[in-house]
Chains A and B, each alone.
Chain A
Amino acid sequence: MSEEIVLSIYRGDADGGQEVEYSVPLTPGMVVLDAVHQVQAHQAQDLAVRWNCKAAHCGSCSAEINGRPKLLCKTRLDDYVGQTVHILPMQTFPIIKDLVSDVSWNYEVAKKIPAFKPATAVPFRMQQFDVDRVQEFHHCIECFLCQDVCHVLRDHDAKDEYFGPRFMVKIAEYEMHPREGGDRIPLLAHEAGLNMCNVTKCCTEVCPQHIRITDNAIIPLKERVADQYWDPLRALFRRKKESPTNQSV
């Protein structure tokens, strides 16, 4: 008989719940999502889990495995031999059922970001060297694991004060585009709450796409905000244009 692995999966909804143990046969190279599907097909038809591509391209199957935010499809079970694998939904968002959380807040935030606004007409002439920087941000699969781990959102529940790392990456993608003609620096300084981030880099650590969120998106954006809002000469200039109530920085 083949080796078995024990999964302890959270079963419940908004009214509460608890972890339930399931045992599944281990096959070579098996990922956690495979095991969850096994449970679904043979032991608990109504076990709720999101997934799509099973190849770490879509970012649907985000969850917390033994306390770490991870993609179920990219986490190998042979990393957990001899251990019970605890699988919980992302804790920063409200639960819908079992491993599925309500991530709709993220889609509301996305709508607040002004779209890309090219300064010149297509086709663009841009060197690879110039687009390398933004292409890193285009790797984002919107799994929201960075949002899940961000302590501003998770521990302080400050969702009305900070858009979160995912959307800093999105804004950086537009702002650093060589042909961008828009300006989202006031948005970052105010509503997007960039100053809420105190660069603990937890988001970078959990990113399954290895985007250097803090170093390459957040810090350069902070520099741009500082340039515009903290440079003494510019600040003087800006005070003439803006009403005092807008100056929250």
Chain B
Amino acid sequence: MAAQELATLESHQYDVLVIGSGGAGLRAAVQAAAVPGVSVGIIGKSLLGKAHTVMAEGGVAASLGNLDQWDGWETHFYDTMRSGHFINNYRIVEVFAKEAAERVLELEEWGAVFDRTPDGKIMQRPFGAHTFRRLAHIGDRTGMELLRTLQYKAISQNIDVFQEVTVTKLFRDENGAVSGALAYYRATGKFVLFRAKAVVLATGGWGKLYKVTSNSWESTGDGAALAFRIGAELMDMEMVQFHPTGMVWPPGVRGLLVTEGVRGEGGLLYNSEGERFMLTYDPERKELSSRDVVARSIYKEVQAGRGTPHGGAWLDITHRGPEFIKRKLPGMYEQYLTLADVDITKEKFEVAPTCHYTMGGVRVEPETCATNIPGLFAAGEVACGLHGANRLGGNSLADLLVFGRRAGDGALAYIQGRDDVADVPGSEIEAEMQRVLRPFSISQGENPYQIHEDLQEIMSNHAGIVRDQGMLEEGLAKLLELKERAQNMAITGSQVYNPGWHAVFDVQSMLTIAELIFRGALARKESRGAHWRTDYPDELPEMGQWNFVQDLDGDAVRVREVAVPVMPQELAQLFERGMAPGVYASQQQAKEK
């Protein structure tokens, strides 16, 4: 079967191949295709414009200072490093904070229409742990606006778009550089080979590892797993963000995101006894504390027996009035009304933590997004280094723009002077085709949907919001057993649009990633940001010096401590005043007056 397919294999060749057609991938493709003569292809697992970026609701963080004149890149830098608990790569954060505003304005130039301030500028809303009002937004559907804008920008350029295509393997040439990818069309099941001088990974995260998640089916960590298997270094894999507010009831919508914008616009959290518990856990920032803190607070309230009927907290925004709520949070209003029969303008509603984002990922170089594999770049959620131990709301959309562009530029610089595209040996292609087609030839094997369900059970119970040594060790053992069972996944039907077959690769990616989460979490013997260990409840200074980097050593996973880069003095001094740089500057000026 495979040999026959090899003879008629469809093949494409690009200077820059982008894998992933969400925000980061599209931004990278747009950047690369802006240079005349550079051929660019972009591959998406879904239809164009459907990527998980659409689910981002609250806004894109950028220190435009449209409402708070004291905001600037230094304060955005300060907030991001602090919320990341200082294991972020400072240079990545610096680049990010400096460039985010420009990237947002670029979107406006390409047709995005943000909400406006009274004097006609881009509106910015407050969000958890951002010192100033910083999130440019369009109601509560900012991600969709960003994705749609980039989608239409991309199709106006010379970019080949491959929709509903799954990549199953990356190839390296004899010098170790990336040389292409094997994929198949989901609609027909036909294989397709992509050869490329440079590859940009923009495949998003792996929230689908967890049962209660805000993530779509696509978030299965494909890019990180593909890169890991060919020798890429992955970092901070223990860092998984649980968003404090997901829907709780009815069961079908459990985990669905409730934007932080609800709290940004004034929503308050209460326990079953009517106490505003965030006043206790974080008196200063209250409901707008960082996500790790709010998620843990809700978890603790529920554990203490003060949870809502379905095990969450109450979120109440009724005091802002129906007109305001429908205008600023139209998606949330509609979502609760149609899916849960709750009118959020009239009543409080239940929320609970939901897996939302993965801070870890492929280790990249700050300036170019280059990975340790020549020619392979990574941007967006699949990459690592910006968010540290906890991501700030709104920083992921800005991340896509800033580093999508930089990855595009990085790829462009890399292909300079490289005239030839390496060949991929037929034997390697054929071996991969055989692997991919194998589930069709197994009878009485494991159901991939069942393996996925069992995996989610393991991850939720053993590597969730709360962890300890025993729990992690037991989880890892269960996972390794599940991996054995998964060798035997079988499917029925044909290669034509067969979701069961597609699920096999999603599950394989997730199993690869799951092991790294356990190994990272076992190595980090402390609590930091999203990683909360009850056996090591404190943040430990000696642990704060390290990122845990994982790669393959033969067939085994190797975990290494790698020093967190140390900030130069001009950045380090921003943290010496005990307050955000913008706040300090405003106080200094007030004193002078």
Contacts and interface: CB of A to CB of B under 8 A. Distances in A.
Interface string B241-283: 0000000011111001100000000000000000000000000
A147 B108 CA distance: 28
B105 interface: yes
Contacts of B187: 96-97, 100, 102
A141 B50 CA distance: 9
Nearest to B161: A107
B575 interface: no
Contacts of B338: 56, 74, 76
A12 to B, nearest CB: 11
A115 B250 contact: no
Interface stretch (A39-47, A199-207, A221-229): A39-47
Nearest to A71: B338
Contacts of B113: 131, 134-135, 138, 177
B216 A54 contact: yes
A interface majority secondary structure: loop
Interface in B329-348: 331, 334-335, 338-341
Contacts of A128: 115-116, 123
Contact of A57 (B46, B120, B331): B331
B492 A123 contact: no
A110 B49 CA distance: 12
Interface stretch (A23-31, A157-165, A184-192, A230-238): A23-31
Contacts of B46: 50, 52, 58, 60
B111 A52 contact: no
Identify the interface centre among A13, A49, A103, A116: most chain B CB within 10 Å of its CB. Answer: A116
A59 interface: yes
A46 B141 contact: no
Given A52-B217, A53-B52, A123-B105, A29 B339 contact: yes
Given A46-B492, A46-B498, A46-B499, A58 B250 contact: no
B13 interface: no
B153 A51 contact: no
B111 A177 contact: yes
A55 interface: yes
Contacts of A114: 156
Given A41-B449, A45-B449, A122-B108, A142 B500 contact: no
Interface in B116-174: 116, 119-123, 138-139, 141, 143-145, 148, 152-153, 155-156, 161, 163
Nearest to A51: B217
B588 interface: no
A13 B121 CA distance: 51
23 contacts: A29-B252, A41-B447, A45-B449, A45-B491, A46-B491, A48-B497, A48-B498, A53-B52, A54-B256, A57-B141, A58-B216, A60-B50, A97-B497, A100-B497, A111-B155, A115-B111, A116-B152, A122-B105, A122-B106, A123-B121, A125-B119, A135-B113, A170-B152
Interface of A: 13, 27-31, 34, 40-42, 45-60, 74, 76, 96-98, 100, 102-104, 107, 110-111, 114-116, 118, 121-128, 131, 134-135, 138-142, 170, 173-174, 177
Give the 6 A-B CB pairs with smallest separation, nearest first. Answer: A29-B250, A46-B493, A45-B500, A116-B111, A125-B120, A115-B156
